[in-house]
């Protein structure tokens, strides 16, 4: 087993139309506005970009992301990740009743030297840290989508 290899899967059920969810997830440079653990994000050329991420554990992960696939009709956003994490991440957005379900999948190898040295004893903590980050993102996205819905209804 490669202790530096991680696979994550999170499911977010949201009370917003799939196109609104997709639009928010596609605007990755805006993540710091609603996702507390995404501390910085910048758009790069070709639809990619970079981000600095920090959850509960006091370390930053810095990654660059290259868009592999962006398909609003299929509800799919797929990026290749480089930097402190090497691999890929994908969002898939589908209708769910009157709302949407966003499925996040990630397959990465940690490249940050300190985290590689702590891979075996730190693995449960790193996984819990990721779960807390995803929980923060879900809360933030729900709030953003609710705010946008209120603004739309106010017009």
Q: What is the pLDDT of residue 47?
A: 74
Q: What is the pLDDT of residue 35?
A: 98
Q: What is the pLDDT of residue 45?
A: 78
With residue 140 as reference, give the H or E element that holds it: helix 119-154
Give me the percent of the chain exceeding a pLDDT of 90. 88
CB atoms within 10 A of CB 13: 12
Q: What is the pLDDT of residue 96?
A: 97
Q: What is the pLDDT of residue 154?
A: 85
Which residue segments constitute the domains of the chain, with CATH numbers given?
5-154 (3.30.530.20)
Q: What is the pLDDT of residue 143?
A: 98
CB atoms within 10 A of CB 114: 10
The gap from C-alpha 9 to its chain's centroid, in whole angstroms, comes to 11
**What would you report as the CA-atom Rg of the chain, rounded to the nearest whole angstrom?**
16
Q: What is the pLDDT of residue 80?
A: 97
- For the chain, list residues with pLDDT below 50: none
Q: Is the dihedral of CA 41, 131, 8, 109 positive or negative?
A: positive
Q: What is the pLDDT of residue 91?
A: 98
């Amino acid at each position: 087993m490669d202790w530096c290899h991680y696979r994550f899967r999170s499911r977010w059920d949201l009370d917003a139309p799939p196109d609104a969810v997709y639009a928010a997830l596609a605007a990755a440079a805006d993540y710091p506005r609603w996702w507390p653990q995404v501390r910085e994000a910048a758009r790069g050329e070709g639809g990619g970009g970079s981000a600095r991420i920090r959850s509960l554990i006091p370390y930053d992960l810095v990654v660059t992301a290259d868009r592999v696939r962006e398909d609003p009709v299929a509800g799919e956003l797929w990026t290749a990740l480089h930097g402190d994490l090497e691999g890929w991440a994908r969002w898939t957005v589908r209708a769910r009743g009157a709302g949407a379900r966003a499925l996040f999948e990630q397959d990465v190898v940690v490249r940050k030297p300190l985290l590689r040295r702590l891979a075996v004893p730190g693995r449960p903590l790193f996984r819990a840290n990721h779960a807390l980050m995803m929980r923060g993102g879900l809360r933030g996205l729900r709030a953003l989508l609710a705010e946008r819905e209120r603004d739309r209804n106010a017009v």
